[in-house]
Amino acid sequence: MKFSFTDDQRLFAEGLRELLANECPASVVREVWENGTGHSPELWSHLSGMGVLSMLAPESAGGMGGSFVDAILLFQELGRAAVPGPVLEHMAVAVPALASTRFGAPLIAGDSVATLWVDDSPYVAHAGVADVIVRKDHVLESFDATDAHGMDGGRRLFTVTGGDRTNADANVGGLDPFDAMALASAAYLIGLSERMIEIAAEYARVREQFGKPIGSFQAVKHLMSDALLKVEFAKAPTYRAAFSASTGADTSVRDISMAKALASEAAYRTSRSTMQVHGGIGYTWEADLQLWMKKAWALMRSYGDANFHRRRVSGFVLA
């Protein structure tokens, strides 16, 4: 029993954090919101160059040959920086599922951009910037995408009609694409939450009222500590789910659901607490916090919300 990441896994995640600190500051996230694309091709090519996008493709296909355990800290780092665009859908589903198809090479190279359309959803996130849409059993190209006005400017929503269809199986190593995305977004939500806590802590250290930094008040300390508690205790279940998925464990679906339920609730609690710590400025368009909050509110409901996943865990635990 060894519940830790290797030095290589940690170093790769640190490298990604550094890259994103330079290439994806809040100003870049805000820019893709404001230019209406929800995607940054420049950032995309940086992620491709580092091997992030191809982490889950086999080496034989030109990928990094990684597992979900190798990728999970990367999803988390992408969340810390609130990276816009279909990076999770591309990385966690399209690349590993389609690596050996004719779509594989350009996806692995990052030249083609993919997103995912899960069953039962009326909307497709990122369809406006995607070259291909992956569905459970086929791939769509040359479709029509109509803006559905999503809340998160880094994850624009569309309705999709038409398109040329090619049959393809979107399972990822035995995982349904929905579950692969639930796992990736659990880690991404943890990253978002970590950064929201940092942003609020930075604010609480400098914002003064009653002649003192508001972070010195217990009411503020306790709000922040409780948020951190939820986030920290969502991590180990998420890493375990990655291990289960990597090893094809029988408990993969249960473990992924547990991770997504806990991460979704942690992210929501964190968004509420960190916004509260900001006071009035937290309710403005100008504060960067909203870039993280709205991503959290979008992702916590995507690929199964906390209630859905908790009930799925119930099915395993209470049966």
**Which parts of this chain interact with another protein (CB under 8 A)?**
1-6, 69, 197, 201, 204-205, 212-213, 215-218, 220-222, 224-226, 228-229, 232-237, 239-240, 243, 258, 261-262, 307, 310-311, 313-314, 317-318
Nearer to another protein (CB atom), residue 152 or residue 265: 265
CB 313, min distance to another protein, A: 5
CA distance 178 to 172: 10
Tell the smallest beta-carbon distance from residue 267 to another protein (Å). 15
Closer to another protein by Cβ: residue 125 or 234: 234
User: 161 or 218, CB closer to another protein?
Assistant: 218
User: Which DSSP string corresponds to 280-300?
Assistant: GGGGSSSSTHHHHHHHHHHHT
Copy the structure tokens of residue 130: 């995607």
Using DSSP, state whether 276 is helix, strand or coil: helix
Pick between residue 3 and residue 285 the one whose CB is nearest to another protein. Answer: 3
Minimum CB distance to another protein, residue 271 (Å): 17
Alpha helix locations (H) across 172-251? 177-206, 218-247
Distance CA 178, CA 227 (A): 27
Least distance from another protein to the Cβ atom of residue 110, Å: 27
Residues 6 or more apart whose CB falls under 8 angstroms from that of 65 comprise 57, 58, 59
Q: Which residues contact 155 (CB under 8 A, 6 or more apart)?
A: 38, 84, 125, 126, 295, 298, 299
CB of 140 to another protein, least distance (A): 36
d(CA 288, CA 295): 12
Cβ 205 to another protein, closest distance in Å?
6
Backbone angles phi, psi at 148, to 5 degrees: -110, 10
Say how far apart CA 203 and CA 24 lie, in whole Å.
20
Closest CB to another protein among 102 and 205? 205
- Measured from the CB atom, the residue of 80 and 240 that comes closer to another protein is 240
